[in-house]
Structure formats: C-alpha cells, structure tokens
C-alpha cells in the first residue's frame, strides 16, 4: 500500500503530495479537478500504460518538459516513474533510487482498476478483454509482464521480417522459438488465472453483485505446438500481415451464471454489476494467494449505484486493502463512515 504519493507536472497537477492511510482513500471534487488523474498516476506505478493507456508524451502538464510520479510504500520501498525533458516517450523507473525496468514494478506493488470505460468491456474487441485479463494475471504472477512484453516484441519483429521479399529463415526460426517460449508461458498464466477466478466466483453465494462465469476461447497449445504452427504458417501470415496463431488470438468469455446468458447480452446495469463482482473476487483471490491485497483504483464507481448497492459495495471493499475511489460529492461515500482518507481536489 502507498503511504505517500508525490506528483510533479502530471496532467493538471503541477505539484501534489498526498499521504493516504490504509483502507479507503476518497477523492472528491468537481469535474476537471484532476481526480482521475491521481488514479492514473498511481496506475503508472505498475507495468504498462496505466488506466488510460495514454502515450507518455500526452501526460506531462502543458509547458512542462516531463512528469514524475513517486511513492513510498508501507514497507518503506520508494518507487518512481516518469519522463525527462527531451525524451517525452522514454519511461524512467527507479526503485529505491536505482534505475530499474518497468516490469520490476510488479514485484513491489499489485494494482487493479475499474473505470467507466470498462463498463463496455464485454462488448469491446477481444484485445480489450485480453488486456483486462493480463492486468488480473499480473497481480497474481509478477513475471507475467516479462513474458507478455517479450512475446509481443518477437511477434512484431517476425511480422516485419515476413514483409521482406527474402526473409532470413534462420532469424525467422529464432523469433518463432522466442514467441513459442514466451507465448506458452503467457497462455499458461492466463488459463490458471481464469480457472482460479472462475472457481472463486462460482463458490460465492449469490448476492448484490451477480456472479460471472469465465473461460478462454481460441488458441491453445504448448511451445512445441506454437513453434510448428508459426513455421508452417509463414506464407499465410505474410499474406495476412500478422500472426494467425498464438495466445494473442484468444478471447475472455464471460456470462451471467444465474441467468446463463452471455455478459455481452446483459443489460448495461448487469454488465457493470458483473464487472464489480469480477474485480472484487479477484482482489480477494490475490489477497488469499499472495498474503497482500492489491491497491484498487475505482473511478466514479458510486455515481450510478442506489444507496443499498453502494453500501453493499463498500462492505465488500472494506477488507480489500487500500481502495482509491473518486466522485463529485462526499455524499456518495456516506456509507463508508469516518474510517477513510478524504481528499478534496479543485
């Protein structure tokens, strides 16, 4: 959990220092005050592009040469990330003052989030659901980010090579072996995450948030299978301009367990409730598996819930470690009571 957060030239915040306690951290203020910007800053303390998936060059405050996000964790670890003047798209990461790879952040902090844009997760393209699944998997398996990054890098190199008139076959083989190695590890972690989360959801009693069934659909196999599929599919992949076999071709399926209906066919309210149920169950799974709850970032989660369901949500979140939430009004969080860090912005 975070004991201290410092933002420098981040979006609309030129300088902001927060000292959140454990439990609920409630950020309130008018639209445009920068509440979501604070959550985005926290999300960048994990591997990846954060909850907005923004390009690094878009994040620095207008007129600033770069941005910085620094945090002190409850165990005293100091982590920081940002960009420097003259290199707006190059991410710098430091852990306890030493330069580090971004993927190493996953070993220090588990972060998951839920934003209004994710309400459409079940109707978005499969790539969006894979990104969501990878975020869930990363909280359980910190090494997942390394396999994902290396698989994607090898796949991009192979795609470029296949576009050449006479590609180097030995280099193609090396890239395919790399894709097979990291792709098999990537797929194994995804499947273990889905199975564990689906079992946890199925075992829960029906309550205020409907239970989702989860499964993976699409490619499956081991490293040997993938290496052979890539080798024999070179002509096909060259014509398509992309690899047509591998874990980047899977989709996360979700359905409403009680109604036995695909999540994509559920009402907007049901889809939002299903997302709540998945994220809550995942936080509990991470806590049970690792002994440490993840940091949860929940953007505008209370605005469209009735008082009873808000109270039920806050009751479930009460045992989930440090939970950051945003809203325009303090009244939305009245059911939490006095045990919260309340920060007014703007």
Q: Given phi > 0 = left and psi -120 to 50 = alpha, else beta, which region is 192?
A: alpha
The pLDDT tens digits of the residues spanning 120-165 come to 999 999 999 999 999 999 999 999 999 999 999 999 999 999 999 9
Angle between helices 268-290 and 307-317 (to 10 degrees): 20
Radius of gyration, CA atoms only, the chain? 21
pLDDT at 173 over 80: yes
pLDDT value of residue 228: 96
Q: Write the burial class of residue 131 (CB in 10 Å: 0-12 exposed, 13-18 middle, 19+ buried).
A: middle
pLDDT value of residue 170: 96
Query: What is the overall mean pLDDT for the chain?
Result: 93
Share of the chain above pLDDT 90, in %: 80
Cβ neighbours around 160 below 10 Å, total: 11
The pLDDT tens digits of the residues spanning 225-279 come to 999 999 999 999 999 999 999 999 999 999 999 999 999 999 888 898 899 999 9
The pLDDT tens digits of the residues spanning 186-197 come to 999 999 999 999
Q: Given phi > 0 = left and psi -120 to 50 = alpha, else beta, which region is 97?
A: left
The pLDDT tens digits of the residues spanning 3-50 come to 999 999 999 999 999 999 889 999 999 999 999 999 999 999 999 999
Residue 94 tokens read as: 């430091």
Q: What's the per-residue H, E or C state across 182-237? A: HHHHHHHHHHHHHHHHHHHHHHCCCCCCCCEEEEEECCCCCHHHHHHHHHHCHHHH
Helical ranges in the chain per DSSP H? 35-43, 126-140, 144-162, 169-203, 223-232, 234-240, 268-290, 307-317
The pLDDT tens digits of the residues spanning 48-75 come to 999 999 999 999 998 888 999 999 999 9
111 pLDDT band, cuts 50/70/90, is very high
**DSSP, res 321:** S
The pLDDT tens digits of the residues spanning 298-324 come to 999 888 788 888 888 898 888 778 999
Q: Which of 79, 143, 132 is nearest to 106 (CA)?
A: 143
């Amino acid at each position: 959990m975070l004991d201290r957060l410092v933002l420098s030239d981040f979006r609309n915040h030129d300088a902001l220092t927060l000292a959140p306690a454990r439990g609920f951290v409630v950020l309130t203020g008018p639209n445009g005050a920068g509440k979501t910007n604070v959550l985005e800053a926290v999300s960048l303390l994990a591997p990846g592009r954060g909850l907005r998936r923004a390009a690094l060059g878009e994040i620095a405050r207008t007129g600033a040469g770069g941005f910085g996000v620094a945090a002190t964790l409850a165990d005293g670890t100091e982590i920081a990330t940002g960009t420097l003047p003259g290199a707006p798209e190059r991410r710098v990461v430091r852990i306890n003052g030493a330069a580090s790879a971004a993927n190493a952040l996953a070993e220090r902090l588990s972060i998951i989030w839920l934003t209004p844009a994710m309400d459409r997760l079940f109707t978005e393209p499969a790539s969006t659901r894979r990104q969501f699944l990878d975020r869930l998997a990363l909280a359980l398996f910190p090494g997942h980010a390394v396999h994902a990054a290396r698989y994607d890098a090898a796949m991009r190199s192979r795609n470029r090579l296949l576009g050449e008139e006479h590609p180097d076959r030995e280099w193609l083989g090396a890239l395919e072996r790399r894709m097979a190695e990291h792709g098999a590890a990537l797929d194994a972690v995804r499947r273990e995450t889905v199975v564990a989360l689906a079992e946890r959801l199925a075992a829960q009693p029906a309550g205020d948030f409907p239970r989702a069934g989860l499964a993976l659909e699409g490619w499956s196999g081991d490293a040997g299978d993938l290496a052979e599929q890539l080798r024999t599919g070179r002509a096909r992949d060259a014509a398509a301009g992309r690899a047509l076999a591998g874990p980047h071709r899977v989709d996360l399926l979700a359905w409403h367990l009680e109604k036995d209906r695909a999540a994509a066919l559920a009402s907007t309210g049901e889809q939002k409730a299903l997302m709540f149920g998945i994220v809550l169950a995942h936080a509990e799974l991470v806590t049970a598996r690792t002994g440490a709850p993840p940091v949860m970032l929940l953007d505008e989660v209370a605005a469209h819930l009735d008082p009873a369901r808000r109270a039920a949500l806050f009751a479930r979140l009460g045992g989930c470690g440090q939970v950051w939430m945003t809203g325009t009004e303090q009244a939305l969080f009245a059911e939490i009571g006095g045990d919260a860090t309340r920060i007014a912005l703007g």
